Structure 1
Amino acid sequence: MRIPHLLTAVFSLALASLALADAASDVIDLSTANFQSVVDPEKLILVEFFAPWCGHCKALAPHYEEAATSLKEKGIKLAKVNCVDEPDLCQSHGVQGYPTLKVFRNGEPTEYTGPRKADGIVSYMIKQSLPAVSEVTAANLEEFKRHDKIVAVAYLSSTSDAPAAAFQATAEKHRDDYLFGQSTDAAAIEAAGVSPPSIILYRSFDDPVSVYPYPVTSATVEEIEGWIKELAIPVIDEVSAENYMLYAQSGKPLAYLFIDPTSELKDEYIERVRPVALEYKSKLNFIWIDAIKFGDHGKAVNLPESIWPSFVIQDLTKQLKYPVDQKTEITTAVVKTHVEAYIAGSLEPTLKSQPIPETQDEAVYTIVGKEFDKIVSQSNKHVFVEFFASWCGHCKRLKPTWDALGEHYAAAKDHIIIAKMEAPENDLPPSVPFRVGSFPTLKLKLAGADDWIDYDGDRSLESLIAFVDEHAKIPLKIFAGNESAPSHPDVEFHDQTHDEL
């Protein structure tokens, strides 16, 4: 009879432990009953809408808790809503995925666009709590300089003098990205060691203090933000999900050093790349990446072997990759030679390609990267291409229709190719004037033409045939006996090398 009492005691202890854990949390639990009463009065509060089964939510949870504790002393609250328990509440706030984070100001929501790690959440919310430009004095100067990784301070004789207006406008535009302050305090200006007007950028990496180098009184928003953006990216830094968009949005090519972070030589290899990064930072962004964790990304940028370190340049705009041969030792000289050749335009990209099919028995022709130019760009035939991904649900649904389209034009194979290419597994050559960003993408290239025609209609067989008939103008007599012949019997077919057939 003692066992049930023991189980009851253990169960009670477990409940007590859970209660203590909940009580210790600095994240506020919200429900339909208390949402408005908690959220609406707050000048600033961050709310996470989550589902308990969501993996991303579980990964965020400890960071969210840590951020809540750090921000508590600053009077900024963090809260959460369990969307499994509160589906109507989540739906009313437009939640379509998990986790969804929203910043509420006096009950009015805006999307949270910051990082998902504790320090990033803290930094983002502190910036949200401050005016776009904070007043800086001698008393808070040192603390303010350390508030964030990037802190811009304008030292002015008067807030009505240039470049105060341009600096304010820049701050309003980038308050989510950087921290801005201004000071007319003589003691602060003396402590900073500057003469007003002046703009100083304080960083927690590389050179910690940078002075705006151009005529400051005529500085425009575009010039100030361009200067900050340039300095906001370290000479060489680790890239991750947290900062990748910073690089992607910069417009510069990425120079990757793939490295095993557990290697004793990790820091040495990074230092081998650093002098090249310093010299060519204005042309490329240099980063290092965990090759063990992101090995699949290495394959995506055409590093097929698990040989580390490896170095590759990626043109993000053209989606072209320029790897150093993976059997080559990564030295400063090798990296510099590779970078200089890329900048000079003398480096040829390495194109990923599936093997060329030994046979082409299907009505839809399979194109791979190695023969794209031969089949498409240099062809004297019309070519209608579906760029697809094997994992894409829309592509799977289109396949029978696309196969039927190939069968429909099988009789006209001397004049038109209905083709497909698995885009993630095959790179487009530099000669192609577009890159594929979504699947399926359907494009038609007419014989003898340089331009591509986008197909943006519905994906029915009838609509696809009508599109081809309109642009390619296949002569009707080719389809003799075909019940689904083109609908334009009066057109003729001409190209660069054939008379009318």
Structure 2
Amino acid sequence: MRFHSLLSPAAALFLASLAAAEGDSDVLSLTASTFESSVNPEPLILVEFFAPWCGHCKALAPHYEEAATALKEKNIKVAKVDCVEEPDLCQAQGVQGYPTLKVFRNGTPTEYSGPRKADGIISYMVKQSLPAVSEVTTTNFEEFKKADRVVAVAYLASSTDAPAAEFSALAEKHRDDYLFGISTDKDTIALADVKPPSIVVYRSFDEPATTYPFPAASVKEAELEEWINDLAIPVIDEVNGDNYATYAQSSKPLAYLFLDPSSEKKDAQIAEIRPIASKYKSKVNFVWIDAIKFGDHAKALNVLEAKWPAFVVQDLGKQLKYPLDQAGETNAETVEAWVVKYLDGKLEPALKSAPIPETQDEPVFTLVGKQFDEVVFDDSKDVFLELYATWCGHCKRLKPTWDTLGETYADRKDKITIAKMEAQENDLPPSAPFRVGGFPTIKFKPAGTREFIDYEGDRTLESLLEFVETHAKNNLTKPKVVPAPTDEAPLEGEAKEKKETSKEEGHDEL
């Protein structure tokens, strides 16, 4: 099946799915009766737990077939379990969604955390089959340095020389991410044209070989990790679900170039931005993104019009967005000027906000982005804030309880604000010292402070009330109400007088 390498990806996937349909599959089908006997003896095997009706499983199938064929040549088995036919087996394996992929080593499973495309599955499993650090010789030198997108090789005079220990520790930590090799062979070192100790990273993109620029003997694991992680990010690449995590884990802001992939100008537009991406790579990560497929992401980044190309810089840590004004052109000149202004701190983030409500009739204050600082940082009040999403089931279940909480303190609105904000319709301003990581996010800000306390208790009214009473700076004790005097309830003096009168009248009757 080596002819796969000569075909286009689309043709390869078609042939893989056709072979599977005809029963000529390199993916082993396992059942409860064959699972242990097939999986436990294998030093390494990949197993997919799937459901035939699952759309994600169907999309994965041709990639999985192609990967199975390629990995068969490397003596790495690939299998699958139909969870509709084998529900007990899947439950025993802790399967909670489809598809679930697991890597088994002699029957012991670990979660598969690699890509879902054929080349990514192949690369991931090949790395799993190798030791954390592989030996590199003249025999495998050329093949090894091209075996993955990012390959790091340490060239040392001896396997015990520094930084062998630091390099090995990093390799164990990142064996799923990169390929690591070591060579102490003089001929291989000469072939690499380096002087030991040296560390070289080989990439399938950008500069093919980059040598660690400082004395390698004294490098620490953290320094080496930062260097390789930075090299693993191309000058500019397409961002998608498979590689977004790489950018999200970086400390750098992310600059998006939104493009129509069907446009004849797409490649030229990427080429125009590449020199800028290269110039500022040490400070900003650049990507291009399919504007048609990810139009909703453009809206989330406050791109107002479906007009391409469009450019946005995002501070991932603070979740702040800086879209380039679409009224002008998006070209090399305007993009570079925008990046420079961002790096110089001369840009204001574009903050999304729903309109300010005309009235506040509900027991809970409806907060919008435009009012955040005014309402939340009112020093005279304690503020209890729920950040929610309209679609979130947990938020929907919390609403009646949160409304009751608002009603409880409705007569003390001068001391405490119970509020809610739709987090996907309203951006948090830079003044907010926190970001939203899930829904609902519940924060308490005591009066007179800029401190936000996370609420992590259960979502019962009793627990919420206890939390408020514990952390509030204001006195929220409800004042006691003294009943006003009425004819039916005479004051103490009047009652005594009437009682005495009654006695006298009674005596006259006797």
Whether these two folds match at TM > 0.5 is yes
SS at match of 2:431: coil
Residues in 2 aligned to 1:52 and 1:481: alpha-carbon distance in whole angstroms: 70
The residue correspondences of 1:25-174 to structure 2 (distance < 5 A) are 25-174=25-174
Say if 1:428 and 1:410 are closer, same or farther in 2 by CA, change over 3 A: same
Shift of 1:454: 2.2
On the 8 A contact 2:153/2:199 being kept in 1, the answer is yes
Aligned-partner residue type, residue 89 of structure 1? L
The residue correspondences of 1:26-425 to structure 2 (distance < 5 A) are 26-378=26-378, 380-425=380-425
Match of 1:497 in 2: none
Structure 2 portions without partners, runs of 5+:
1-16, 484-510
Shift of 1:433: 0.7
Residues in 2 aligned to 1:106 and 1:429: alpha-carbon distance in whole angstroms: 52
Shift of 1:20: 8.0
| TM-score, scaled relative to structure 2 | 0.88
Say if 1:18 and 1:150 are closer, same or farther in 2 by CA, change over 3 A: closer
Match of 1:12 in 2: none
Residues in 1 aligned to 2:398 and 2:482: alpha-carbon distance in whole angstroms: 26
Shift of 1:453: 2.3
On the 8 A contact 1:236/1:288 being kept in 2, the answer is yes
Cα distance per residue 1:141-197 (max 9 Å; x no partner): 111111111111112222122222222222111111101111222222222222222
Say if 1:72 and 1:338 are closer, same or farther in 2 by CA, change over 3 A: same
Cα distance per residue 1:446-473 (max 9 Å; x no partner): 2221112222222222222232233334
On the 8 A contact 2:19/2:25 being kept in 1, the answer is no
Residues in 2 aligned to 1:379 and 1:331: alpha-carbon distance in whole angstroms: 46
Give the length in aligned residue pairs.
466
Cα distance per residue 1:101-129 (max 9 Å; x no partner): 11111111111111110000000001111
Say if 1:362 and 1:379 are closer, same or farther in 2 by CA, change over 3 A: farther
Shift of 1:251: 2.0
SS at match of 1:217: helix
Residues in 2 aligned to 1:481 and 1:360: alpha-carbon distance in whole angstroms: 30
SS at match of 1:373: helix
Shift of 1:477: 5.0
Which shows bigger deviation, 212-221 or 74-83?
A: 212-221
On the 8 A contact 1:412/1:474 being kept in 2, the answer is no
Say if 1:166 and 1:464 are closer, same or farther in 2 by CA, change over 3 A: closer
Structure 1 portions without partners, runs of 5+:
1-16, 483-501
Residues in 2 aligned to 1:18 and 1:278: alpha-carbon distance in whole angstroms: 43
On the 8 A contact 1:412/1:479 being kept in 2, the answer is no
Say if 1:114 and 1:481 are closer, same or farther in 2 by CA, change over 3 A: farther
Shift of 1:382: 2.0
Match of 1:4 in 2: none
Residues in 2 aligned to 1:52 and 1:394: alpha-carbon distance in whole angstroms: 30
Aligned-partner residue type, residue 443 of structure 2? K
Residues in 2 aligned to 1:121 and 1:280: alpha-carbon distance in whole angstroms: 32
Say if 1:82 and 1:481 are closer, same or farther in 2 by CA, change over 3 A: farther
Residues in 1 aligned to 2:283 and 2:348: alpha-carbon distance in whole angstroms: 18
Residues in 2 aligned to 1:443 and 1:177: alpha-carbon distance in whole angstroms: 36
Counting aligned pairs with the same residue, the percent is 67
On the 8 A contact 2:149/2:205 being kept in 1, the answer is yes
Aligned-partner residue type, residue 468 of structure 1? V
Residues in 1 aligned to 2:143 and 2:381: alpha-carbon distance in whole angstroms: 68
On the 8 A contact 2:20/2:65 being kept in 1, the answer is no
Q: Which has the larger radius of gyration?
A: 2
On the 8 A contact 2:469/2:476 being kept in 1, the answer is no
Aligned-partner residue type, residue 94 of structure 2? G
Say if 1:349 and 1:480 are closer, same or farther in 2 by CA, change over 3 A: farther
Shift of 1:22: 5.2
Shift of 1:304: 2.2
Residues in 1 aligned to 2:459 and 2:382: alpha-carbon distance in whole angstroms: 20
SS at match of 1:213: coil
SS at match of 1:399: helix
Which shows bigger deviation, 266-275 or 384-393?
A: 266-275
Aligned-partner residue type, residue 119 of structure 1? D
Cα distance per residue 1:351-400 (max 9 Å; x no partner): 01111112211121111011111111245322211111101111111111
Say if 1:426 and 1:160 are closer, same or farther in 2 by CA, change over 3 A: same
On the 8 A contact 1:269/1:330 being kept in 2, the answer is no
Residues in 1 aligned to 2:470 and 2:104: alpha-carbon distance in whole angstroms: 52
Which shows bigger deviation, 208-217 or 379-388?
A: 379-388
SS at match of 2:306: coil
On the 8 A contact 2:379/2:449 being kept in 1, the answer is no
On the 8 A contact 1:44/1:129 being kept in 2, the answer is yes
SS at match of 1:425: coil
Say if 1:196 and 1:371 are closer, same or farther in 2 by CA, change over 3 A: same
Match of 2:470 in 1: 470
Say if 1:447 and 1:193 are closer, same or farther in 2 by CA, change over 3 A: same
Residues in 1 aligned to 2:94 and 2:179: alpha-carbon distance in whole angstroms: 30
SS at match of 1:177: coil
What is the root-mean-square deviation in Å for CA atoms of aligned residues?
Answer: 1.8
